[in-house]
């Protein structure tokens, strides 16, 4: 009998954004991710599900967690994983992103994991290649695997997502993490609040189904989860906050501001964090609240699930075309 395929449960070739997924599809990816958590904690971390498959990490922007966890995820499933270093690639000789991806496509990768500074660039690339494409962050648009690993962290810590109050705080304007999380949390039945100065919020953001606050002391009242965001200065054109000291005073999370949230509220941060800017250093390390390292751990399991499900869909497609 053929191995079971996932494509009825996840009928997508690419993973470009949370906005494209249903609550059932998100729940399914989280269930598959859960099944990889124990494997990652064991001594033998290798499975053969992706043997013979090729995964290329194509990162046009810096990354620590996302790139290494995709690399580990692919290797733990026995794929051949290539990390393209843009600094030493022909992009530096003037080749366009599309030409680079067509060149890589000619080598038959099964999955391209792509990060790019421009919103929409990863979707454009996905239209030019034969394999599956995973968006590892495009500009300030989406970062779907980050939202999935955040959701897995919440689901494992709180037992559910539905009905929770989640405050996303800080530089929402430039954050693809915020956008993907707003979509995911709304689809899964959580209540989303944004807490930020007006300069760091997109216009008409309420249309995304969120409640807006400009003061941490009111925005965090009774919330279950506090997600902090970095000031993404690399995306800023001009000045958005008077100074980082003043920003920390009003919007940096410390135990005093957290005191109005639920007593066991979870503190999250996608990383990289700037201690003393958006989060107090002691709180970031306080394991009674901070789930920041859980997020990193679970990121590998989520990326294994995404590689597993999307390559399985490619296999099912080839099998259908052959029959
Ligand atoms: C985030 C990103 O790149 O969007 N980091 C990450 O992937 N963990 C958030 C950030 O850079 O601040």
The tens digit of pLDDT for each residue in 16-35 reads: 999 999 999 999 999 999 99
Question: Which residue in 120, 114, 2 sits closest to 59, CA to CA?
Answer: 114
Strands 111-116 and 54-59: parallel
Can you tell me which residue has the tokens 């400009």? Answer: 214
Task: Give the C-alpha separation, 316 to 321, whole Å.
Answer: 9
Which has more pLDDT, 238 or 306? 306
Q: Which residues approach ligand 1 with their CB closer than 6 A?
A: 65-66, 137, 143, 146, 176-177, 230, 232, 270-271
Mean pLDDT across the chain: 94
pTM of the full predicted structure? Answer: 0.96
The tens digit of pLDDT for each residue in 240-258 reads: 887 899 999 999 999 999 9
**Which of the listed residues 57, 66, 68 should we mutate to test ligand 1's pocket, taking the one with most ligand atoms within 8 A of CB?**
66
Question: What is the largest distance, in Å, between two alpha-carbon atoms of the chain?
Answer: 65
* Bridge partner list, 47: none
pLDDT-derived band at 106 (thresholds 50, 70, 90) equals very high
Q: What is the dihedral of CA 281, 212, 249, 296, to 10 degrees?
A: 10
User: pLDDT at residue 214 above 80?
Assistant: yes
The tens digit of pLDDT for each residue in 257-299 reads: 999 999 999 999 999 999 999 999 999 999 999 999 999 999 9
User: pLDDT at residue 4 above 70?
Assistant: no
Task: Give the C-alpha separation, 195 to 171, whole Å.
Answer: 9
- Residue 7's pLDDT is 72
| Index of the ligand 1 atom closest to the CA of residue 299 | 8
Q: Burial of 221 by CB count in 10 Å (0-12 exposed, 13-18 middle, 19+ buried)?
A: middle
Half-sphere exposure of 106 (CA within 13 A, CB side): 5
- Residue 1's pLDDT is 46
Task: Give the C-alpha separation, 265 to 267, whole Å.
Answer: 7
- Residue 2's pLDDT is 54
- Residue 3's pLDDT is 56
**Which of the listed residues 65, 71, 137 should we mutate to test ligand 1's pocket, taking the one with most ligand atoms within 8 A of CB?**
137
Maximum mean pLDDT: which of 69-78, 82-91, 96-105: 69-78
**Cα dihedral across residues 43, 77, 290, 271: positive or negative:** positive
User: pLDDT at residue 149 above 90?
Assistant: yes
CA distances in angstroms from 88 to 65, 67, 93, 98, listed in the order given: 21, 17, 9, 17
- Residue 41's pLDDT is 97
**Cα dihedral across residues 303, 308, 313, 318: positive or negative:** positive
User: pLDDT at residue 219 above 50?
Assistant: yes
Residue by residue, DSSP assigns 118-148 as: STTHHHHHHTT-SSEEEEEEETTTB-HHHHH
Rounded to an integer, the average pLDDT of 51-69 is 95
Can you state the percent helix, strand and coil of the chain, rounding each to 5?
45, 15, 40
- Residue 89's pLDDT is 76
Ligand 1 centre from 317 Cα, in Å? 33
């Amino acid at each position: 009998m053929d191995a079971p395929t996932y494509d009825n449960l996840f009928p997508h070739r690419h993973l470009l954004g949370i906005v494209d997924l249903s609550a059932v599809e998100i729940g399914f990816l989280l269930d598959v991710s859960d099944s990889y958590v124990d494997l990652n904690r064991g001594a033998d971390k290798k499975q053969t599900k992706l043997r013979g498959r090729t995964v290329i990490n194509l990162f046009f922007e810096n990354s620590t967690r996302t790139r290494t966890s995709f690399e580990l995820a692919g290797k733990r499933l026995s794929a051949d994983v290539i990390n393209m270093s843009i600094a030493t690639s022909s992009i530096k000789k003037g080749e366009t992103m599309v030409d680079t991806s067509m060149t890589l496509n000619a080598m038959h990768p099964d999955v391209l994991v792509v990060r790019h500074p421009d919103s929409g660039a990863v979707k454009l690339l996905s239209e030019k290649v034969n394999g599956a494409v995973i968006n590892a962050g495009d500009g300030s648009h989406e970062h779907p695997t980050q939202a999935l690993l955040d959701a897995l962290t919440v689901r494992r810590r709180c037992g559910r997502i539905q009905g929770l109050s989640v405050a996303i705080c800080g530089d929402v304007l430039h954050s693809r993490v915020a956008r993907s999380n707003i979509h995911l949390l709304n689809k899964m039945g959580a209540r989303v609040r944004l807490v930020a100065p007006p300069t760091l919020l997109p216009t008409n953001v309420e249309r995304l189904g969120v409640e807006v606050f400009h003061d941490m002391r009111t925005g965090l009242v009774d919330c279950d989860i506090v997600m902090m965001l970095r000031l993404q200065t690399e995306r800023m054109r001009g000045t958005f906050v008077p100074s980082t000291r003043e920003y920390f005073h009003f919007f940096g999370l410390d135990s005093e501001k957290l005191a109005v949230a639920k007593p066991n509220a979870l503190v999250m941060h996608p990383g990289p964090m700037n201690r003393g800017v958006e989060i107090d250093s002691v709180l970031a390390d306080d394991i009674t609240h901070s789930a920041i390292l859980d997020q990193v751990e679970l990121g590998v399991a989520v990326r294994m699930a995404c590689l597993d499900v999307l390559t399985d869909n490619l296999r099912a497609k080839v099998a259908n075309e052959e029959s």
